[in-house]
Structure 1
Amino acid sequence: MERRDFLKSSAMAGAVMAFSCNPGWAQSADARIEIFAEDAIATIAPEIYGHFTEHIGGVIYDGVWVGEGSKIPNQYGIRKALVDRMNQIHVPILRWPGGCFADSYDWKDGVGRRGKRPVRTSFWEVDPEAARLNEKGAQIFEPNTFGTNEFMRFCMLTNAQPYLAANLRSLPALNFDQWVEYCNSPPGSTTLAQTRAEGGFPKPFGVKYWGVGNESWGCGGNFEPRQYASEFRRYTNWIPKYGVDLQLIAAGPNSDDSTWTQGFFEEIFTGNHPYRNSEFTGWSVHHYASDLSRGRVKNNFHEAHGKALDFDITDWYELMRETARVEDIMSDQWAIMSEFDPLHQVKLVVDEYGPWYHEGSEVDPTHLFGQQVTVRDALATAMTLDIFNRHADKVSVATCAQLVNNLNALFLCHEEHFMVTPNFYVFEMYAAHQGGQSLRAEFSAPRVHYTRDGKPASFWGLNGSASRKSNVVTVTLVNTDLASPTQAQISIHGLNVKSAKGWILAANDMHAHNTFENQNAVLSKDLKVDVSSGRMLNVNILPASVTKLEVTLG
């Protein structure tokens, strides 16, 4: 039996006919990709390339925040190496302070003089992973050293928009209104504006994006969908604007829970008192590629996760399969939302995504939920970004969980040590998509076959996305096949190609990852691209790789 067979993997039907009509295709090509540069889907919102920073483990303390008096190079107490690297990838938006932490957080604890701020018990004190810290440290007892002002400074240094998650579970609606007032009221206008000025920020922050609760089906209140809808109405009925175009984001389902979405939207948009608020523009969706047990572990969330560094070939493809589920989840959610919001005022906000593994590979014991990031995770992350690009008409914001020292991080650090993970290079390669026009693309590529618990299984081998800015088309590709390279031929339908450049992220070992001792084990490199007859691109795509092509049209 052949290891791979030839079939279509495409966002649109009819690809085979499109390919058969192009006389330039080479018979020797393993994969064919046709990009329709005149057929735009929608603008790719830069905010799709956002990141998530929660008060959990080593994300803030030992990650973002080192303190102004630290020997570690910093800007206003924020790790300088992190700021510098983030500016390389043009981070558009940062979500904070949670996550589950947000629904136990009072923003007022994190303003004013740092030495006077209260110390509170962190939400994560009750988590089983926290037991190893023996009730000690900032991970258990939140010092509030890093609060709203410090986060806003972080956003300013990295040129990112702030996205704040408000506490709906344990604080009243008035507290939310006052946080908006603190952030956005004009200089000298209110007592909270004066408090902000005393902290060194007389000008308003102009925060546009606000999450109204987080995972309200679980850690954010354990609500029923209609209960949460009622709370959402109450919290958003009146919010001061100060001329800011507020974007309110509701807490959506756990992965693909259709009953949550159906119940919430019915309560919001139907009945005698339908909700009419043009500021409600986002529906939060969370999907972690976490259930890697293939059904062998029941009713044990943590045991089903799999391991970051100890995995086999089947585990490789199962992670890809679990990651790719986000596309079906998005389509299912969109279909339900369309019933109640046919004009699509509300878009998808995928503000937590990525692989999630067992504890054990964190770079320091204080980094709760910390994990190493391998080339496998880089492919999973790139695959997710391609899905967002292909659905640019549906997704307005996305934030990878999380930025540093946690799940699927771009950066790992401890004390003076700092490094980038393979995910950093993915975001660096994909940054060119931000603000581009997502293009329809047809993929015809070999499918990968593997053995799954003694039975044959398969997964797509090559897929990706394309976007256009003026006369430049950016193409990104993920080859999930661990063993075989793919000789790909690419056509920009109806247009001539003047030149092309390429980059690739790959490694010979599927477990490859960067460490403090070896920081260049996985990184992006230049890739040769052949342009034939001004129409076709020919490129050899390595196994288990992420590829970026920059194509200049003639």
Structure 2
Amino acid sequence: MQRREFLKASALTGATFVFSQRPGFAATSDAHVEILLDEPVATVAPAIFGHFIEHLGGVIYDGVWVGEKSKIANTGGIRTQLIERLKAIQAPVIRWPGGCFADSYDWRDGIGPRDKRPKRTDFWADEPHAEKLSNNSPVKFEPNQFGTDEFARLCKLSGAEPYIAANLRSLPAYAFDQWVEYCNSPAGSTAYADIRAQGGTRDPYNVQYWGIGNESWGCGGNFTPEQYASEYRRFQAWVPHYGLDLKFVASGPNQDDVAWTSKFFESTLHDRPIPPPWALSLHYYTDLPEALKFEVADVYPSYAKANRMERIILDHWSAMGVYDPEHRVKLVVDEYGPWYRMGTELDPSHIFGEQITMRDAIMTALTLDIFLRNADKVGMAACAQLINCINSLFLAHEDHFVNTPNYYVFHMYAAHQGGQAVRTEFSAPGVTFAAQADVHGPWDENAAEKAGSLWGLNGSASVKGKIVTVTITNPHLTDARDTEIFLRGQGSVGSVEAAVLAGDEIHAHNTFEQPDAVTAKTVQATASGKSVKVTLPPSSVTKLTVALS
């Protein structure tokens, strides 16, 4: 995660926008959705609903890890409420230890007795907000109380697969081999297997997902794609597999840097080709100024910026196809979400902590729908980050814990896991607004205006046996949509259930004092033949569960 200079102009962003809110409230009936049951896209990889934790701010310490001696309810030092919520959303995979932290982390510091583990300078120690903290803060000096064993325990307790990002910038390839050995070598087979057993885990962790570096174009080494390709060659060569199908994720581009993608694949699949990686990582953040104190004029531009994710995926997929025409390599979007300047964090130590509103929930939902519509391309994703940082599902401080609106999005969308994504067609009046050319960076007041637009409804659908799951986002700030959903293909509607996530208004968010200001609620939907009718509230995310007769 590279944000040393936050809120610089995004290279991807060609425009920022200003919208004048339409007054009043209207319910319109000119919205239609077609679910094309006979036009499959691909099986939905559960891993596209993954998560990310980094040794940054309040993510690990005060978020995930409270310690075994804490009065806060914990399971082996891990916050119990977090474990329970992860199980509730069927969290499929968790990425760790970074982020930029990964390429400064020596995994050997985080094993063995915790009282003997060394303190190290954290990657984020020089971040301006961290500099103001006490030298006792784990944000500045990493205590290594949460290491490989603790991470593996979190994954086991929550039912998630571990995804580990290796240090390519500052450790040799041999250290990576040893990390794989520590995690995966059979009990009693090696010195590292014995150390693992001494720490309380005899059996191997069987970690399959390994990221070879992180953001190697930036904080992970400032490499050119050709230089990174050379390093990737060394790191992936002859890694011990221990009978597992190891899935290597190559460090990919920042946003829309298609040149990085092309040059990496030319260097690895064309010039003296090596086995392709399982996937190429991609990071895209929706950089925005204010988490809470935003104008309604800022909302549609935010959605338009988040919606660029689909174009980015398609462009990189096309570039990959030049060197991998069979598309053996998938895309892994392992960092994404809206990222604001600080000001709403729960504690000064929560670097990049943000309050999460309905606006963020809608951006998260529309992003997950993009992944679902492109289930043939996206093999995994990780929302940044799980707790107390950026686009969190949870906020926690000391003994307080609350679900953000994003939690309910993931809870609703879990039904898609393992289903067959099918093609959808959405028809609804679009949203129009004024736009400003992005000359000097986001939200430049001196830029000239031009027109901007956004779709009126969007979403995705999947089929699992006799159940069709449909998720729909209504971005409109004031208009509800009376919407009819048609099933095209085999089967009619036997029954339907509907749930909606919406707040009183777009700034709605949950706090420790008001934890249920935004929650998912059951709503009425009617079925007739091959269609379903439902009203989609303004600024809402809706899930329909359709049982076929």
TM-score, normalisation: structure 1: 0.91
Rounded Cα–Cα distance in structure 2 between residues aligned with 1:64 and 1:360: 22
Question: Following TM superposition, by how much is the alpha carbon of 1:531 offset from its aligned partner in structure 2, in angstroms?
Answer: 1.1
- On the 8 A contact 1:314/1:451 being kept in 2, the answer is no
Q: 1:486-540: per-residue Cα shift (whole Å, max 9, x none)?
A: 11111111331011000000112211100000001111000110112x2211111
Rounded Cα–Cα distance in structure 2 between residues aligned with 1:223 and 1:103: 13
Q: Which residue of 1 aligns with 2:3?
A: none
Question: Following TM superposition, by how much is the alpha carbon of 1:452 offset from its aligned partner in structure 2, in angstroms?
Answer: 3.2
Matched residues, percent identical?
A: 55
Correspondence for 1:312 among 280, 290, 295: 295
In structure 2, the gaps of 5 or more residues are 1-19, 23-27, 437-448
Q: Which residue of 2 aligns with 1:276?
A: 275
Secondary structure of the 1:485 match is strand
- On the 8 A contact 2:44/2:417 being kept in 1, the answer is yes
Q: Which residue of 2 aligns with 1:43?
A: 43
Question: Following TM superposition, by how much is the alpha carbon of 1:134 offset from its aligned partner in structure 2, in angstroms?
Answer: 4.5
Rounded Cα–Cα distance in structure 2 between residues aligned with 1:378 and 1:286: 19
Map 1:82-161 to 2 at 5 A.
82-161=82-161
- On the 8 A contact 1:3/1:449 being kept in 2, the answer is no
Secondary structure of the 1:474 match is strand
Rounded Cα–Cα distance in structure 2 between residues aligned with 1:168 and 1:198: 28
Rounded Cα–Cα distance in structure 2 between residues aligned with 1:144 and 1:97: 11
Q: Which residue of 1 aligns with 2:181?
A: 181
Rounded Cα–Cα distance in structure 2 between residues aligned with 1:254 and 1:536: 42
Q: Which residue of 1 aligns with 2:366?
A: 383
Aligned residue identity for 1:374:
T
- 1:513 corresponds to 2:509: yes
Map 1:344-423 to 2 at 5 A.
344-423=327-406
Aligned residue identity for 1:461:
G
- On the 8 A contact 1:529/1:539 being kept in 2, the answer is yes
Aligned residue identity for 2:96:
W
Rounded Cα–Cα distance in structure 2 between residues aligned with 1:527 and 1:208: 41
- 1:491 corresponds to 2:474: no
Q: Which residue of 2 aligns with 1:472?
A: 467
Q: Which residue of 1 aligns with 2:407?
A: 424
Change (3 A) 1:455 1:344: closer
Q: Which residue of 2 aligns with 1:550?
A: 545
Question: Following TM superposition, by how much is the alpha carbon of 1:40 offset from its aligned partner in structure 2, in angstroms?
Answer: 1.0
Question: Following TM superposition, by how much is the alpha carbon of 1:3 offset from its aligned partner in structure 2, in angstroms?
Answer: 9.6
Question: Following TM superposition, by how much is the alpha carbon of 1:190 offset from its aligned partner in structure 2, in angstroms?
Answer: 0.2
Rounded Cα–Cα distance in structure 2 between residues aligned with 1:504 and 1:539: 10
Correspondence for 2:496 among 485, 494, 500: 500
Question: Following TM superposition, by how much is the alpha carbon of 1:315 offset from its aligned partner in structure 2, in angstroms?
Answer: 1.1
Question: Following TM superposition, by how much is the alpha carbon of 1:552 offset from its aligned partner in structure 2, in angstroms?
Answer: 0.5
Question: Following TM superposition, by how much is the alpha carbon of 1:456 offset from its aligned partner in structure 2, in angstroms?
Answer: 3.7
Correspondence for 1:536 among 528, 531, 539: 531
- On the 8 A contact 2:72/2:79 being kept in 1, the answer is yes
Secondary structure of the 1:320 match is helix
- On the 8 A contact 1:501/1:549 being kept in 2, the answer is yes
Rounded Cα–Cα distance in structure 2 between residues aligned with 1:483 and 1:381: 20
Secondary structure of the 2:430 match is strand
Rounded Cα–Cα distance in structure 2 between residues aligned with 1:100 and 1:536: 48
- 1:198 corresponds to 2:181: no
Secondary structure of the 1:446 match is coil
Secondary structure of the 1:201 match is coil
- On the 8 A contact 2:131/2:140 being kept in 1, the answer is no
TM-score, normalisation: structure 2: 0.92
- On the 8 A contact 1:314/1:452 being kept in 2, the answer is no
Rounded Cα–Cα distance in structure 2 between residues aligned with 1:439 and 1:391: 10
Q: Which residue of 2 aligns with 1:448?
A: 431
Rounded Cα–Cα distance in structure 2 between residues aligned with 1:276 and 1:171: 23
- On the 8 A contact 2:162/2:207 being kept in 1, the answer is yes
- On the 8 A contact 1:3/1:448 being kept in 2, the answer is no
Greater alpha carbon shift after TM alignment, 445-454 vs 261-270: 445-454
- On the 8 A contact 1:125/1:135 being kept in 2, the answer is no
Greater alpha carbon shift after TM alignment, 442-451 vs 142-151: 442-451
Question: Following TM superposition, by how much is the alpha carbon of 1:238 offset from its aligned partner in structure 2, in angstroms?
Answer: 1.2
Secondary structure of the 1:230 match is helix
Rounded Cα–Cα distance in structure 2 between residues aligned with 1:173 and 1:499: 55
Question: Following TM superposition, by how much is the alpha carbon of 1:457 offset from its aligned partner in structure 2, in angstroms?
Answer: 2.4
Greater alpha carbon shift after TM alignment, 444-453 vs 236-245: 444-453
Rounded Cα–Cα distance in structure 2 between residues aligned with 1:186 and 1:3: 62
Q: Which residue of 1 aligns with 2:416?
A: 433
Rounded Cα–Cα distance in structure 1 between residues aligned with 2:375 and 2:434: 34
Question: For this pair of structures, how many residues does the alignment match?
Answer: 512
Q: Which residue of 2 aligns with 1:71?
A: 71
Q: 1:116-174: per-residue Cα shift (whole Å, max 9, x none)?
A: 00000000012122122154400100000000000000001000000000000000000
Question: Following TM superposition, by how much is the alpha carbon of 1:455 offset from its aligned partner in structure 2, in angstroms?
Answer: 4.2
Secondary structure of the 2:278 match is strand
- On the 8 A contact 2:408/2:520 being kept in 1, the answer is yes
Rounded Cα–Cα distance in structure 1 between residues aligned with 2:270 and 2:527: 55
In structure 1, the gaps of 5 or more residues are 5-27, 291-304
Q: Which residue of 2 aligns with 1:210?
A: 210
